[in-house]
Structure 1
Amino acid sequence: MKPIKAAVLGCGDRGNVYAGYALLHPEEMEIVAVADIDAVALKTTGDKYGIPDTLRFKDVDEFLAADVKCDTVINATMDGAHYYTAKKLIERGYDQLLEKPIVNNAEELEELKKLAEEKGVSLIVCHVLRYTPFYKYIKTLLNAGEIGRIFTMEMNEHVELVHFADSFIRGKWSDEKECGSGLLLQKCSHDLDLMCWLNNFTKPKAVSSFGSRAYFLPENAPEGATEFCYNCPNGKTCLYCAQKIHLDLDWFYFQTWRGIGKPLDEITREEKEEFLKTSDYGRCVYTLRRDLVDRQTVSVAFKDGSVCLFTVVGGCSSGGRFIHIVGSKGEISGKLEENKIKISRTVRKDGGFEKTTEIVDLSDKIPENSKHSNGDMSLMREYVRFLCGDRSSISLTTIDDSVSGHMCVYAAEKSRKEGKTVELEL
């Protein structure tokens, strides 16, 4: 087959991750155009994929004005830009792979869904965790009825402390008003999507949620803490010391240093030191005024009587995602990062009862240095096949099967803020 021709709108980390499939499999996909409002990101990505200047654009409007011929657009713009960019692309008839979250409210979600249907274009959401060997295997078990009907599902996401600090306190997703998404929508739309996808034998009917920002507050700052970390007396003991995290360890460099406005490999340590003296990335996590919660729980009641619970907490010593599903014939449990699934059953045998346990180890299916437990590249592989007419994927679904998870997020935020259970009509 001829390679799928793709354009990339949004040349940050996620856009480059998805586009990277073209470097690994040039026989399957080719990047033909790029667009980004950040001139440095645009040049870096354009150079990486050998894109001529005539096919490098500063925004979606320039891209559309050029009438670029391609099979799909990878839309990896920031959350707040999704509605405008996705709508423009749909109206022009482009198939689209859209980074999650889709949009930050139900009205715009329904509008995009309806518009995509009217225009006859595909709008596929980057629910990358569906494509991991771990969750894909669980879905296969559920579809096969291995544990019978789902009674309950418990899911937990522990966001590691450096990740939480860099992305959701100091970083570009730290404020709901600025980025357009709260923690649940930006970070955990993955998880609410998984909940509804794994249990898509039915539909959610009611949601309740509790959560708050209760730790990352000025009153919890260590004694003597200063506004910026560079002159703080707690630098050698604080878990969130920006100098240690960013200068010494250089964690999350791909998003921390973008504000300097230079290619990452050209930035000097001296420039980084000065940047941390004025940037939010160098501020104290306790005194930096932001509005995202640092813990939240969501309960979802489904129409068939099943009840599912999700909890997220930020600032954990060890990050990870956990799941435990109880069914009428058995149980499934495991941790994503361990890539091992435990299947427990009670069966009748020789007139009595027997308890069985099976451990499925999927570690050998995870390539070294893969992101999201190999969900990113698995998504791209199945998406390319989808564009070529293959409809066999259990993970890749139309926008219809992405709606439920997002609606649960919207309802959960309404419940948390207004202190009431929210009914759904899906």
Structure 2
Amino acid sequence: MRLPCEVSVASRLLPSAGLRGPGRSVRAVLALGKPPGGGGGGGGGVWLLVSTARQRPGAKYQLRENIEQLFTKFVEEGKATVRLKEPAVDICLSKANVGQLKTFLSAMKLADRGTNEESLPLSTLAPPKASEVEKPKTKMTITSRKDYPLTQNFPYTLEQLQASYCKLPGIDMRMLCLKSLRKLDLSHNCIKKLPATIGDLVSLQELSLQGNLLESFGVALCDSTLRKSLQSLDLSQNKIKALPAQFCQLRELIHLKLDDNDLIRLPFKIGQLSQLRFLSVARNKLPFLPNSFGKLSLESLDLFGNPFEQPKPLAPDIQLKIPLTLWEYSARATINYRLPYSCHVLPSHLCHDLDMSKSCHCGRACLSSFIQTTVTMNLHSVAHTVVLVDNMGSTEAPILRYFCSLTCYSQFLDRHLQSIR
């Protein structure tokens, strides 16, 4: 029975001798077994072997009636301490697999009592292989096709993985088993589609897909655990025309790069990305910005090279139906009064319609009956640093505005006309 973890051994006699305690924890492998010939310095029973990279033969500790106490308060975090009577040391364990640690501690208790030893999965104590006690690999960088591993699995301990310029046609499914992965860089490949299972990478914080052949970003990814973990996303230099409305569920995003795509619109509820601080959507095909764009609070914004239309506040698109339908009245009331709804209460298509509601300039909701127009917005109102929108030195862009009634639109017109007089 073996347990890989980090270990520090502290002697309880050191303070009385005026000596310092142990240093940092080191990578180690713990093993339970019986020494060859049943010896090991005297006494039978089960022994504990602690092996490190510097001392692979390891230090042996007898366990029978020799465990003074087990400290397991933080076992769910992969931590525990074994206090021995002789020698007077505390063996502090950390960064262990929780399930393996619990099993190992249970076996140590049985070894201490000297009961049911025959039922324990013991083996002859022998030094582990060098690879077993080496510090686990947490970072891997691959920048060419010839260096890409075809027959070997990726180390399961990886936290950062870069596989660029490898001509990958899709996501390697072996990557989706790396549950500790925090940063994944697959830039400059030939990836056309993203599997929904990327959402199984529960620790993923940074994802770079720059320079691929992507045409979409799936709804399933927006509904996955990426909602709680993803902080940086680079989709620049692809072929994406639009992002789904559900994209705005990625509420933890801080950095978002969408440069050099074919975007004709941004998600209309992009203002829900309250953590977003760095946004770059240069060289796309945006004619205007969505209504909620004004809710963003950015440090840096780049919209250079988009064919923004000239704002037309006096030429509205009127889709207002008078009188309002019963559905429109009901839906507006649901949103305005913040009534809870879900697919367990309403049909899914009605929930979708409610999710796609628009906000009037007055703050009230409208769905299928509204007036819309475009107005000018100074981008410095949402970002501290703004890259010029065009070569003329402009930092203004058209933004879509919705109005729930003729009254709201008339009030807007009055203010607008007064401002240009």
TM-score of the pair, normalised by structure 2: 0.22
> Comparing both structures, which one devotes a greater share of its residues to helix?
1
What TM-score results when the alignment is normalised by the length of structure 1?
0.22
Higher relative contact order (CA 8 A, sep 6+): 1
For the pair shown, the structure with the greater C-alpha radius of gyration is: 2
